[in-house]
Amino acid sequence: MTAPLTPPHQPPHDSAWPAPDPVPPASGGAPDTATELRQSAVVVAASVVAGALLGLLWLWLAPRVTLFSDGKAVYLKDSEGESAIGMDGTFVLIALGFGVLAAVLVFLVHRHGGVALVLGLAAGGVLGSLLGWGVGVWLGPERNVVAHAKAVGPDVLFEAPLELKMGAAAMLAWPVAAMIVHLALTALFGPRDPEPEDGPWPPTPTPPQG
């Protein structure tokens, strides 16, 4: 009988190349999809609530358009005034500020970023702008100009209702600002994926055992 060439406690043969080290599980990475969706929903809800504040600020800061009636028709007190344009400009400036603030807060809370958060900022910005517009119009001066003119009487000055001449552009100010600022912050200050460490090339073969 011949003795076995390989002892039973040793593997039958050795590989010429070392086995690759197992990849350690990622730690501190981005959350899973369900978590991102929940975070995005919170961003949308917070933006909608902030939209009410946008409406109140617009109502407080927007310039007023003054009207009067002669009993037959309604006229502008200052036909060359720029108050109507100022309403749009005031809304857009406040909305831009809300968009920047929302992007900064979301980045500080969720530094990992993610498509879901960006979409949440966009959707929340649109909904918040719509709510802000509605709050400002609802709490502002009477919307029925003819009825308001009849109520106050001829030659009595009264304020025109709040309105947006460029409604579509005003509604996009908040979401566009939020997305741009958030993407810029993520690109500049967001977490980076670790660079893979390259081993020696060619790899050193493991000497055969015994």
Per-residue pLDDT of 10-69, as tens digits, reads 555 444 444 444 444 444 455 678 888 999 999 999 999 999 999 999 999 999 888 888
Q: Tens of pLDDT along 128-160?
A: 999 999 999 999 998 888 888 888 888 788 888
Domain total of the chain:
1
Q: Does 11 fall in a domain?
A: no
**Across residues 159-165, what is the average pLDDT?**
88
Q: Where in the sequence is the domain holding 170, given as residue range(s)?
A: 36-186
pLDDT attached to residue 177? 96
Residues 169 and 154: their CA atoms lie apart, in Å, by 36
Long-range pairs for 4-13 at CB < 8 Å and ≥24 separation?
A: 10/209, 10/210
Has residue 87 been placed in a domain?
Answer: yes
Cα end-to-end span (Å), the chain:
21
Whether 199 maps to a domain, the answer reads no
pLDDT digits (tens, 9 = 90+) for 66-84: 888 887 788 777 765 567 7
Choose between 85 and 103: higher pLDDT: 103
pLDDT at residue 21, rounded to an integer = 47
Dihedral angle sign, alpha carbons of residues 116, 121, 125, 128: positive
What is d(CA 83, CA 203) in angstroms, rounded to the nearest whole number?
75
- pLDDT at residue 205, as a whole number: 62
Q: Which pLDDT belongs to residue 15?
A: 45
Asked if 178 contacts 104 with a C-beta cutoff of 8 angstroms, the reply is: no
Q: Distance between CA atoms of 96 and 125, rounded to whole angstroms?
A: 10
Q: Is 14 within a domain? A: no
- The whole-number pLDDT of residue 81 equals 57
* 91 within a domain of the structure (yes/no): yes
**Residue 98 in domain:** yes
Most trustworthy range by pLDDT among 98-107, 154-163, 189-198: 98-107
If you search the block for the tokens 């730690």, which residue do you land on?
27
- Closest to 210 measured CA to CA, from 15, 7, 18: 7
Query: Does the residue 193 lie in any domain?
Result: no
Q: Give me the torsion for CA of 169, 174, 177, 179, rounded to 10°.
A: -110
Locus of tokens 């979401």: 175
Q: Is 96 domain-assigned?
A: yes
pLDDT on residue 210: 55
pLDDT band at residue 197 under the 50/70/90 scheme: low
Residue pair 57/94 in contact (Cβ under 8 Å)? The answer is yes
64: left (phi over 0), alpha (psi -120 to 50) or beta: beta
